[in-house]
Structure 1
């Protein structure tokens, strides 16, 4: 996404309209020039890349567009690494210790680098030359980090990502958002709700699979004053929403007037005909490393129980509950698994309230022993679900042990 200083929009009354680039020849030419610079700078320090970008930018009036496109290329398609024989901080210590033993001079510097190069060659069991030490001394500075990999996008992909980032930036200042998703494929709902959960967005959901859902999300300014941290989470949801076939949203924004510095209300609307393109994958995803680890361990387990990622939505008043996994046995038995890991007290209260309202007889709750349920005001004994406790990692065998034997 783009930083606030590279976001551009205009106002039509209270409606905010973000800057979007056309897929025309002039803009594709700019994108091509930028991509070419990044390709030519592979293996070069970031300072050289920045020099060439500054040269391209010059004093042209579209400098903010060029900076925005370059920012996306840096943050989304480039890999910068610290190239040094040792960690730069340790390398500096070693060089300074040797340098302190001699009188400073050009010859002494060369001898110091040669001496340390010989030592490091023996220690690391590979050749280290003085120039590598000299280059690595301050390799941890951003301008000295090396562009080691560049995943070249097409000009269309770059412009699509820029347009999406401009729209995402609108949500940095969102105080409230109402999202309507209309009669879509159930799999699209599941993907959207999983992203809501992944980004820890506090939402109120009404509706059902047959008629669609209305999702209300409180935004950054309503919860945390002027902080944009929560607004970033809302912005990250947009690429997931683009995978839903039919939807519309309206967001209320808190803007600060450039001249009076007074806060004012802004509005932003968007729907499924917006033409934005998502870069999020449609395939399976995990809400946490804990879930991914559990699925990986299950794959190595010899059991008749099959672990499924796609599960049904459990309707509850004002929301839906999406368990993490389904366990299916060849004899037809089926259990839903919800992993409750490391969350805030308010989330725990909401989660266990959902479990009680769902009243699902075949639900298994896997609960971390690290959670302070008492502080959150949660009583597991009041929860109508099978329960399994875990410490750092959830083991598949522990889950299977709580399943009742077939009667």
Structure 2
């Protein structure tokens, strides 16, 4: 991600609001610079990071747009791989052996009887290396000595400029004290990335549909490791772009010392996420269930619609996202959540049971594989309905249970 020095010049202030001056991705001059940098960077393959920095410095020269150029370069480097030289001996051992000779000089004299070349030859013999290998390994563990082995994505100028704008946008969150987001879809991916980046949150359902999520920012009084947490919050932002409907409002304290400022974005933004969406289904069991429902029930034959992961159960500091929601086409308020429990891993099963007990949801139907190490006793005390199946759920039995639950919870269905 971009450093604050590369972000601050792009901040724009309007009263109590702050925004980012993003670059025009269609600007021919910007595209030309991006193309030149991509070519320059790719020409550095198998060379050291120090060599790349020297090449970049030469390219920047006396340019006045050096902030922009170095920002693009930072994006390239962050997505590339620099690796240390393969070494028969660790650089630490080589240095310790070399330095044991004390100060050495190009030529020996009475006070320094061993020249530098002599010390290199002696160390090489002791470590069974060549003098050239000793020379190369002395400081091979410095990042400047790492070699560019992978230049990252197959960049185009447009891709690089789009990613640069994204890095600018999320960099503002380094200075956030609080972040509020509203989402109306793709809950699974949002929570996957909230968990991945270990963000603290409070979630609320909205009367208009969807959810509001409150996130503590890196300069919140409740956050200890400010720098690390700030990077995690900034890293999370592209997850929002995977949603079709979203809003974001952050309270930020930019380093220019203007106090609390408002930083807002929503789904009308042109920013693009480099995160990948999750697959439609997490398992073959879920895919087969959806396919069988479509084949045997479907919207034409049945009175129920099957939606994929479209509701949350908020459980304090975590959430449960049921696999499906059955919605009665006759009355959309008649909804039955469905969770398939067919994964055998003990930790998964333990967490699943904990969430089921915490949710204690009366309109949740659990379809449980009999081969698991669970019984009806494990679900005692929960108000959810449990239906065991030997190989796969029988759709006729599932729909009968759904109808019975809806009758009990919502009363008779409309005619």
Residue 18 of structure 2: SS of its match in structure 1? strand
1:388-403 correspondence to structure 2 within 5 Å = none
1:110 aligns with 2:109: no
Shift of 1:59: 2.0
Query: Which runs of no fewer than 5 residues in structure 1 stay unpaired?
Result: 122-127, 286-294, 341-350, 365-383, 387-403
Aligned partners of 1:135, 1:209: CA distance in 2, in Å? 65
Question: Which residue matches 1:344?
Answer: none
Question: Which residue matches 1:133?
Answer: 134
Question: Which residue matches 1:150?
Answer: 151
RMSD: 4.3
1:327 aligns with 2:322: no
The number of residues matched between the two structures is: 328
Shift of 1:322: 3.8
Aligned partners of 2:38, 2:224: CA distance in 1, in Å? 38
Shift of 1:139: 1.2
Q: 1:40 to 1:278 in 2, by over 3 A?
A: same
Aligned partners of 2:200, 2:277: CA distance in 1, in Å? 23
Question: Which residue matches 2:277?
Answer: 282
Shift of 1:336: 11
Residue 221 of structure 1: SS of its match in structure 2? coil
1:70-109 correspondence to structure 2 within 5 Å = 70-97=73-100, 99=101, 105=107, 108-109=115-116
Shift of 1:161: 1.1
Residue 248 of structure 2: SS of its match in structure 1? strand
Check conservation: 1:168, 1:235, Cα contact below 8 A.
yes
Please tell me whether Structure 1 or Structure 2 has the larger radius of gyration of its CA atoms. Answer: 2
1:192 aligns with 2:190: yes
Question: Which residue matches 1:174?
Answer: 176
Aligned partners of 2:104, 2:58: CA distance in 1, in Å? 43
Shift of 1:61: 1.5
Shift of 1:209: 11
TM-score, length-scaled by structure 2: 0.66
Corresponding residue to 2:65 among 47, 62, 66 = 62
Aligned partners of 1:216, 1:268: CA distance in 2, in Å? 15
Residue 251 of structure 1: SS of its match in structure 2? strand
Shift of 1:75: 1.2
Check conservation: 2:200, 2:216, Cα contact below 8 A.
yes
TM-score, length-scaled by structure 1: 0.67
Which stretch has the larger CA shift, 204-213 or 228-237? 204-213
Q: 1:58 to 1:104 in 2, by over 3 A?
A: closer
Shift of 1:356: 2.3
Question: Which residue matches 1:265?
Answer: 260
Q: 1:225 to 1:92 in 2, by over 3 A?
A: closer
Corresponding residue to 2:40 among 30, 37, 40 = 37
Question: Which residue matches 1:218?
Answer: 216
Check conservation: 1:306, 1:327, Cα contact below 8 A.
no
Question: Which residue matches 1:232?
Answer: 231
Shift of 1:361: 8.5
Aligned partners of 1:88, 1:213: CA distance in 2, in Å? 53
Write out per-residue CA displacement over residues 73-115 of structure 1, whole angstroms, 9 at most, x where no aligned residue: 1111232424543211111123344x46999847854344345
Check conservation: 1:85, 1:133, Cα contact below 8 A.
no
Shift of 1:326: 5.1
Q: 1:355 to 1:61 in 2, by over 3 A?
A: farther
Aligned partners of 1:41, 1:230: CA distance in 2, in Å? 33
Residue 204 of structure 2: SS of its match in structure 1? strand
Residue 165 of structure 1: SS of its match in structure 2? helix
Query: Which runs of no fewer than 5 residues in structure 2 stay unpaired?
Result: 109-113, 290-307, 324-338, 369-377, 381-387, 391-415
Aligned partners of 1:226, 1:9: CA distance in 2, in Å? 25
